[in-house]
Amino acid sequence: MAQNDEPLTGPELDYGPAGDADATRVVRAGLPEERPYEPPLPGPVFAAHYHLPGEVEGAPYAYGRDSNPTWTGLERAIGELECPGDERTEVVAFASGMGAISAVLLSQLRPGDVAVLPSDGYNLLASLRERLEGFGVEVRTAPTGRDAQLAELDGAKLLWIETPSNPGLDVCDIARLAEAAHAGGTLVAVDNTLATPLGQRPLHLGADLSVASGTKALTGHGDVLLGYVACRDAELAASVRAWRKTVGAIPGPMEAWLAHRSLATLDIRTQRQAGNALAVAEALLSREEVSDVRHPGLPGDPSHTLAARQMSRYGCVVSFTLPDREFADRFLSAVRLVGDATSFGGVRSTAERRGRWGGDEVPEGFVRLSVGVEDAADLVRDVRHALDTAANGTAPG
């Protein structure tokens, strides 16, 4: 089992032009040049408008819906993590992950176009599918596992990949899918929320766009709603940025500042969470009342071989199935170090019976567990105790 303070196996770390590893890069990403008596990370800029003499064209800041210095710092920082050393990378920050996802799909697709989406992805993709079909877009779906989306690419304008998938944690081969898609002129977008830029770099693997909810592991404290789109094509970035301006899906300056502040601990947090998640997953494997344990870091997981090739750490999420809804509810009532909450990626462990939301094709006893940065032995002990309590048919009052 990997130790909490050791990186999991995977591709070698990418080094920037100064020879900085990820652990160093995240601490300084997007920071301005140091100036005497100034803070290393300037505070949030609250502005609806700016002093704007002369012509508008070329002005770095003109109106608060268009741009903000606090966004600029965050976007620069994320770009340095998504594609270290590549100055072509542009990032567009949004008010939420769904804002970022919607911006890509709705800015790139027109009536008559074909989009290929995962059938097992984030459950709000179903709502977006209905919206797209209402606009005259043909939407095809296929599961993430076994690169099943390959069979649906013919004539597609855009391929949307989610790997690892949420909540099932299947993995697909980004490079293989991107190569096949580009051969037919298809644009490729990857939802990289679960992996983060330190766990997986879709643009390096051939994707045109890397999209994520910064609400999750990127910021990691459960106090920010945020999303972003990263790409290396200026025209593509401009179209996404224009969509943000048109619909007003802009991040608040305080949220952007909190997100930038949180990036400094991204390496430490995600390393520990990945190790903790593997420890919890291994403990779950030994329980006879638990089935279908999934985590890409498990050597026996169906996705492990592929994940080890394209991911440098395997994420904080573990999924598993308990005998029924009642058993799962008793388990969630009995854990003490794991909060019953949706979302994932936070420093505090959370879990939920995913079927309570509807929309995900999962058993009633399916649990998605987001593992935090608590002590691994304490988490394993708590999970085992909660399983014992649930198996005895009791739950704390």
pLDDT at 355: 87
pLDDT digits 0-9 by tens, 7-56: 333 333 343 444 479 999 999 999 999 999 999 999 999 999 999 999 99
Residue 390: pLDDT band by 50, 70, 90 thresholds? very high
Is the pLDDT at 1 greater than 50, yes or no? no
pLDDT band of residue 395 (cuts 50, 70, 90) is: low
Q: Which two tokens stand for residue 372?
A: 């935090």
CATH number of 22-263: 3.40.640.10
- Segment 222-271, tens digit of pLDDT: 999 999 999 999 999 999 999 999 999 999 999 999 999 999 999 999 99
Q: Name residue 178's amino acid.
A: A
| CA-based nearest residue to 346, from 318, 317, 325 | 317
Does position 147 have pLDDT exceeding 50, yes or no? yes
CA distances from 397 to 267, 313, 327, 333, 351 (A): 39, 38, 15, 9, 19
Query: Cα separation of 363 and 258, whole Å?
Result: 37
Residue type, 40: P
Looking at residue 49, what DSSP letter applies? B
Q: Which CATH architecture has domain 266-391?
A: Alpha-Beta Complex (3.90)
Residues 66, 68, 73: CA angle, nearest 5 degrees: 130
Read off φ and ψ for residue 147, nearest 5 degrees.
Answer: 55, 40
Q: Which residues contact 247 (CB under 8 A, 6 or more apart)?
A: 103
Three-class SS of residue 113?
A: coil
Condensed to tens digits (0 to 9), the pLDDT of residues 301-342 reads 999 999 999 999 999 999 999 999 999 999 999 999 999 999
pTM: 0.93
Question: What does the alpha-carbon distance between residue 272 and residue 288 come to, in Å, rounded to a whole number?
Answer: 27
The residues spanned by each domain of the chain are 22-263, 266-391
Q: What is the reported pLDDT for 2?
A: 35
Average the pLDDT over 66-81 and give the result.
97
What is the SS3 assignment for 339? strand
